[in-house]
Amino acid sequence: MAHLLITGHSRGLGAALTQQLLDQGHCVLGISRHPIRGLRRSQSSVIKECCVDLGQHSSIAELLDSNTLEDFFRNAEQAILINNAGLLSPIGLAGQAHSAEIIHSITVNVAAPLALSNRFLAITGQCIDRRIIHVSSGAARSPYAGWNVYCASKAALDHHARCVSMEGPEHCRIESIAPGVIDTQMQAAIRASALEQFPMRPRFDQLKESGSLASPEEVARKLIQHLLSQSFGVSPCTDLRDL
């Protein structure tokens, strides 16, 4: 049984990961602004939820200064951090966004996962198996006009994984994984964006219309299989569609 901290567990990919990991008998600590809804619990489900706004520096600091992570991982043999929370906004060409939106996005997408990874590594030294996943994106590796903040934030996660992998913390594997295109609220937000903010929007309209989006459940299944396998972390940056 693994102990897994999952950020952004309240909906989308994070909710599907949470449900499937609980179904498999693992312990989950979920961190989002809202609780997960419609969870199917069994007698053996062990879930703890913390409402934290990962877009606020003070809330991240409060979480890290508390004993929440230490208490959760105290007796874990296998400890896993899934940095999944993320947001696409602000969508728009450089020069169009409000500075506060950029700062908020970088806080959720970069500052929170890096600070959580740092704390995770500091407190789980006793574990015989430690794993960190950053949920990245194809946008980390290919530029998209209108997504300059998002692309830069996901590229930061990729490079963080490469560096930590090179540092080689004891008993730890790290991987930044692009999950593919998933039918979640994030995709709905893409289709709701204005063409002048995101000129490539028709491609994403077409993906939805042609039924080409993967379900969160399907992606979660594949991600968990890889996460718990021996091949996890062999390469620090991967695409789930190639595994």
- Residue pair 5/116 in contact by the 8 Å Cβ criterion: yes
14 binds ligand NAP, rule: CB under 6 A: yes
> What residues does 239 pair with on adjacent strands?
178
Contacting ligand NAP (CB under 6 A), which of 21, 63, 80, 85?
A: 85
Residue 197 CB-half CA count within 13 A: 15
Contacting ligand NAP (CB under 6 A), which of 117, 184, 193, 238?
A: 184
Rounded Cα distance between 166 and 119, Å, is 18
CA 78 to each of CA 96, 118, 187: distance values in angstroms, whole numbers, following the listed order? 44, 17, 33
- Show Cβ contacts of residue 242 under 8 Å, excluding neighbours closer than 6 positions: none
Contacting ligand NAP (CB under 6 A), which of 181, 223, 237, 240?
A: 181
Site for ligand NAP in 95-114 (CB under 6 A): 108
- Show Cβ contacts of residue 59 under 8 Å, excluding neighbours closer than 6 positions: 52, 53
Minimum distance from residue 64 beta carbon to ligand NAP (Å): 14
Rounded Cα distance between 127 and 51, Å, is 26
Contacting ligand NAP (CB under 6 A), which of 11, 119, 160, 201?
A: 11
Q: Number of residues in contact with ligand NAP, rule: CB under 6 A?
A: 26
> What residues does 27 pair with on adjacent strands?
3, 46
92 binds ligand NAP, rule: CB under 6 A: no
Task: Report the residue closest to ligand NAP, judged by CB.
Answer: 12
Site for ligand NAP in 24-53 (CB under 6 A): 32-34, 53
CA 25 to each of CA 12, 45, 167, 221: distance values in angstroms, whole numbers, following the listed order? 21, 6, 32, 15
Q: Is 144 part of the annotated catalytic residue set?
A: no
Minimum distance from residue 34 beta carbon to ligand NAP (Å): 3
Pick the closer one to ligand NAP by CB: 185 or 231: 185
Pick the closer one to ligand NAP by CB: 8 or 233: 8
- Residues forming contacts to ligand NAP in the complex (CB under 6 A) are 8, 10-14, 32-34, 53-55, 84-87, 108, 135, 137, 179, 181-182, 184-187
Which residues form the catalytic set?
A: 150
